[in-house]
Amino acid sequence: MVIGLTGGMGSGKSTAARLFEDQGFQRIDCDEIAHDLLREDEDVNRCIKKAFGTDAFDRDGQVDRTALGGIVFESGDNLLRLEAILHPRIRDTWLARVASDTEARWVVEIPLLFEKNLQNRVDFTVCVFSDLSTQVRRLQLKGIDRTQALARIEKQMPVFEKAEIADYVLLNEGSLEFLDEQIKTLLTRI
């Protein structure tokens, strides 16, 4: 079984994924794969440098994710260029992991699950839903200012649209226990 877990930025996808992991699922975080690629993949770094120049790198020659984020979220074209570099590699990585153990139950955090038309690569889609003010507050706790948080959220499909097309929706506005109970209930139905 492969669950594709999505939601808006700051909705609590990672928290939900860890709760699935507590229920015996193997967890794959596509954001983590992206971070690994930016940190370790020389081909990705060459492509980033060609697309965005040295402003996207720190003094040590490593991709500066904060600087890169500022560059790509200021322009839709820049975001598309970054996605063209990273997304095929991210997809291939998580698909290979899932294929490596077909007996396992998997939960794959895919922020752009519907935007990249990946819903047919999973058995079920689950959207973690939080309202906009909660998303912004959570992103601010991670050091992203309100203006940047709103700009980044606007670049994605609205979370209510994701919720409408997902197979299941988890409401993440309450306690961790409430989210955990929703996941346990969901697992009795699939």
Report DSSP state, residue 158: P
Looking at residues 66-91, what average pLDDT do you find?
89
The per-residue pLDDT for range 98-120, each reduced to its tens digit, is: 999 999 999 999 999 999 999 99
Sign of CA dihedral 24, 29, 35, 41: positive
Q: Is the pTM of this model over 0.85?
A: yes
Sign of CA dihedral 29, 30, 34, 36: positive
- Report the distance separating Cα 112 and Cα 117, nearest Å: 8
Q: Tell me, what's the pLDDT at 151?
A: 81
Residues linked to residue 170 through DSSP beta bridges, in sequence order: 128
- Report the distance separating Cα 25 and Cα 8, nearest Å: 22
Catalogue all structural domains in the chain, each as residue range(s) with its CATH number: 1-25+105-190 (3.40.50.300), 31-103 (3.40.50.300)
The per-residue pLDDT for range 138-153, each reduced to its tens digit, is: 999 988 889 888 888 8
